[in-house]
Structure 1
Amino acid sequence: MPHANMLTVVHHDDTRTSFKDVRYELHRDGIRIWSDEGEHVVTDILMTQAYRRREATH
């Protein structure tokens, strides 16, 4: 299951919902997101943007 430090969901009406520090699963009928606030299911998705910041390794 992918992890994202910042996940933005763009809805069909061009509104955006952002989540911080989440795990998520993309499905044919939407996205399921697990955050500190609990589980979220979003079905009206136009696009998602996920960013993961990693510590630098030397």
Structure 2
Amino acid sequence: MPHADTLDVLHHDDTRTRFTDVRYELHRNGIRIWSAEGEHAFTDVLMTQAYLQRESDK
């Protein structure tokens, strides 16, 4: 299950929902997200962007 420091969900009505420090699963009919606030499921997803900050090797 992928992890994201920041996850943006763009909905079909052009609204955005942002989550921080989450686990998520993409499905054919939407996305399911687990965050500190609980479990969320969206079916009106147009696009998602997930960001994961990594330590530099330098």
Structure 1 runs (4+) deviating above 2 angstroms are none
TM-score (norm 1): 0.95
Residue 38 of structure 1 corresponds to: 38
Residue 49 of structure 1 corresponds to: 49
Give the length in aligned residue pairs. Answer: 58
| Structure-2 separation of matches of 1:39 and 1:54 | 25
Residue 10 of structure 1 corresponds to: 10
Task: Give the share of equivalent positions with the same residue, in percent.
Answer: 72
Which stretches in structure 2 are left out of the alignment for 5+ residues?
none
Deviation at 1:55, TM superposition (A): 1.3
TM-score (norm 2): 0.95
